[in-house]
Every structure is written in structure tokens, then in C-alpha cells.
Amino acid sequence: MTTITQRVALSFFTAGKFFVPVGVTELLCRGAGGGGAGGNGNDSQGGAAGGGGGSAYGPIALSVAAYQGKYLDIAIGTGGIFGGSPATSGTDGMSGGNGGDTTISYTDDYGNTTVLLKFKGAFGGGGGGTTAGGAGGKGTGQGGDGGDGGDGGVSSEAGEAGDDSRLSGLSTGGPGGSTSASAGGGGGGGGGFGQGAGGTGQNGANPPNGGANPGFGAYGAGGLGGAGGGGSNYGIGSNGVQGILEVSYLQAAA
């Protein structure tokens, strides 16, 4: 007798629980932790900030034979938070926050928790220095790295574009920002898991505002880097994007 199976797929955008059906021994998981936030540009100087890294993980097989008939806990990584304002004029911009981890875990009857799978959140972009741009945040899994912020000063540099996700057909990196006379452009955010793009780096205008946030559906994508400062202004990075988890498994067809 031939057993006909079908693949069941679920997507998690928020924290929740997953019941492992009896007879299911393996989950195929993919998704992302949170994207890293872009850093802030330097206050009163020209150094721009790096864009946040992206997070993306391809299909990973997770054995759940020991958890049939039990509930697993799902946590979705939050996007990194952009750096706050520099404390004093002329200080370096603050780095962007790292993204949170997306996890699958099991808690037994005694309250002991075991993490079964972790999609690590990406790293935030570095803040802009007095004239030097901040480094782009590193991506995790197959996520793209954020672009470096451009140097400021007499010969300002444009920010670098963020790298594309290394998962084929998914999120692209954001373009780097352009410069002004003395301020560097912010770095673009790295590509993540979803179909949108990482954040576009801010340009070096005075006041250095503008720049596009990560695109719609860009789960795990990095935030843009803030532009270099001019006068008493500085560019502000944007937050990274939350993660996502997709789970699929085979079960006998009804």
C-alpha cells in the first residue's frame, strides 16, 4: 500500500507555539533573525555611519522525533534600534543596535528550556567618526553585510551599498548615500530574507535627513546608515527589520 504524503507550511511573524504532530520527525526551517540598525553620523563633523547587516538562513533540517505530541516555543527576533543622539557636539555617532535572534525551543515540565534552533540577528552599523565613516554591520547566515559609511572632510566619500542577501532571489542591499561638500554619505543596509531591500543610506545634505527605510516585506534586512553631520546636525540611522520563521513538514494526506 502506498502512503501519500503532503507538505504543510507555516509562517511565523510573531512569537507563538508550534504543535509537533505525531508521526512528524523533521521540520524544514528557514527565515531570519532581526536586521541590524544603521548607526548615526558624527555630530558637527563629516563622518557618516554604516548600514546595518541583514539576516537570512536557508533551509535547515531540524529533528523533532523526540518532541512528537508536544508544543515548541517560537520567538521572532526584533530589528535592531538606531543609535541615539551623541552626548556632546563633535562626538562620534552611536552604533546601531543588533537584531534579536529567532529561535525554536522546548520547555519541559520542570521549566528547563532547550534551544533547538537559532537564526542569529544581524549586527548594527558603526557610528560615524570625526571624519572617518563607520563600518557596516555584519550580516548573519546568508544575509548581506551593511555598507560602510563614507568619510567626511575636505574630500568626502559616498557611502557604500549594502550587500545583497546570499539566498538567491531574496532581499537586495540598499544603495549608499551621496555626499555634500564636507559630509560623507551613509552606508546602505544589507539584504535579508524577505523580498524588499535593505535601507538606502542617507546623503550628506545639511540638515542630513532623508534616506529610505528598508523596503516592504524585507524581513531581516538592515537599516540605513546616517549621513555625516554638518553644522550642528547629524544623520540618523533607521531600525532594522524584524525576523521571520517558515516551517514545513511532511505528513500523511487525509
Each residue of 48-106: pLDDT tens digit? 889 999 999 999 999 999 999 999 999 999 999 987 766 566 678 889 999 999 999 99
How many C-beta atoms surround the C-beta of residue 229 within 10 A? 32
pTM confidence score: 0.91
The answer on pLDDT for 6 being more than 60 is: yes
53 and 35 Cβ atoms separated by less than 8 Å: yes
Determine the pLDDT at residue 44.
66
Q: What distance in Å separates the CA atoms of residue 173 and residue 84, rounded to the nearest whole number? A: 24
By CB atoms closer than 10 A (0-12, 13-18, 19+), residue 169 is: exposed
Which of 118, 148, 147, 144 shows the shortest CA–CA distance to 133? Answer: 148
Average pLDDT over residues 215-233: 75
Q: Which residue type occupies 149? A: G
Name the grid cell of 50.
554604516
